[in-house]
Amino acid sequence: MYQPETPDPAAPGATQGDASASPRARRVTIDDLARRLGLTKGTVSRALNGYSDISHRTRRRVAQAAEEMGYRPLAQAQSIRTGRTRSLGLVLERGGHDDQRPFLAEFLEGLTLSASEAGWTLTVATAGPGDEMTATLGRLIDERKADGFVLPRTRTSDPRIALLRAAGVPFVLYGRTGDPAGCAWYDVEGEAAMREAVLRLAAAGHRRVGYIGGGDFHYAGLRRAGAGSGVAEAGLPADPELFAEAALTREGGREAALRLWSLPQPPTALVCAVDMAALGVYRAAAELGLSVGRDVSVISYDGIPEAAHADPPLTTYHVETRAAGGRLAELLIALCRGAAPETLRETVRARLRPGGSDGAPRLTPDELAARVAQARTGHRRSSTKWEEQPR
């Protein structure tokens, strides 16, 4: 590792016991980098901070020299000089349907690694929904805890966006929103996945395909529209009764499936906006004596680990959560450095991960309705017999 120049021990003002004479006593500075590279101090500083007026070749050369020499900026001094904390902010909503899911750890890992590679840190806080969320964001802004924020789980009308817009604080959405003005985002095209799922089921022979939606987030409307587009494209019946909403949990998915399968002409296949709801569909099928992947088909979206361990494994569209976190950090850093938000809008496709939960229909809608009615009658008889037993 490079050692900065140190005073000659024999020089005036230096003593043998002076700690400043030790090669380890002084940090590598921008002056040291500038002398090593033959560049001005200003050029080195701007290169280290990623300014676009410095060529990519020079920025890479400076970064390489900084790594070789062990240069590390003093965070406090840099904050005072630039007005930046070099920290990205993230406020997670407590009590969300997926706040403890394994893919949250992957998302945070992606954010942290990408920020760290650029010399930035990640500030994470938690808050309840509504006013508590905006109050927490406001406090972090006032205390200058972060230069910008990543906003996951966006809503069509999102108070967090309004707050950050008004404060002039950079932000990047993990998702999209109703009013895109001034917004940068990274999102996965769930609507495309829902369309493809319906077309896959139609190609397998299903003529009645139901849809279980995903709550009040902005993605819910996009995914519902994608499912509807697939129904229209495949020439399937556009029956509003086949579209259920607001199921984000296992219990929500179970209840929605039981309602859909109670229709006079029930769907032989279901598409779910989230995997957790799809796992609830498995429960509903078991209650009715139906076999997922044989009697009924299910396709979902998210690619959570539990989906691969379901019986049979769930066919789902997998989201690369770690990669999403990493890219969001890169976009937010670029935004904090002055890039226009309109130039920082990216969408990617989810990847189909086939399981054993979908296939050709073995039952017609009429046959499925008869099976459901028979199962319900059997449950009622069992319940009556239990109640009539002497106690």
* CATH number of the domain bearing residue 195: 3.40.50.2300
- 198 and 297 assigned to the same domain: yes
Domain that holds residue 58: 19-72
Assess contact for 219 and 245: CB atoms under 8 A.
no
Predicted pLDDT at 98: 55
Predicted pLDDT at 69: 85
Q: How far apart are CA 260 and CA 258, in angstroms?
A: 6
- 182 and 329 assigned to the same domain: yes
- 204 and 182 assigned to the same domain: no
- 202 and 262 assigned to the same domain: yes
Predicted pLDDT at 140: 95
Residue finishing a domain among 72, 106, 138: 72
- 101 and 65 assigned to the same domain: no
- 329 and 341 assigned to the same domain: yes
Look at residue 212 and tell me if it is in a domain: yes
Look at residue 386 and tell me if it is in a domain: no
- 215 and 243 assigned to the same domain: yes
Q: How far, CA to CA in Å, does 228 sit from each of 210, 240, 268?
A: 10, 10, 17
Amino acid of residue 70: G
Predicted pLDDT at 12: 37
Predicted pLDDT at 170: 97
CATH of the domain at 46: 1.10.260.40
Tokens of 147: 């230069």
Q: How far apart are CA 73 and CA 144, in angstroms?
A: 19
Look at residue 8 and tell me if it is in a domain: no
Edge-to-edge strands, sheet with 345-348: 121-127, 87-93, 148-152, 171-174, 184-188, 345-348
- 176 and 259 assigned to the same domain: no
- 45 and 99 assigned to the same domain: no
- 359 and 287 assigned to the same domain: yes
Helix ranges restricted to H, the chain: 30-37, 41-48, 56-69, 75-82, 102-117, 131-142, 159-167, 190-204, 218-234, 250-260, 275-287, 305-308, 321-336, 365-388
Q: How many domains does the chain have?
A: 3
Predicted pLDDT at 84: 66
Residues 145/146/150/152 CA torsion (nearest 10 deg) = 0
Amino acid of residue 294: R
Mean pLDDT by 10 residues, the chain (391 residues): 43 37 59 90 82 84 86 53 77 70 84 94 94 95 95 95 95 97 97 98 98 90 96 95 89 96 97 96 97 97 93 97 97 96 97 97 97 84 47 45
- 217 and 128 assigned to the same domain: no
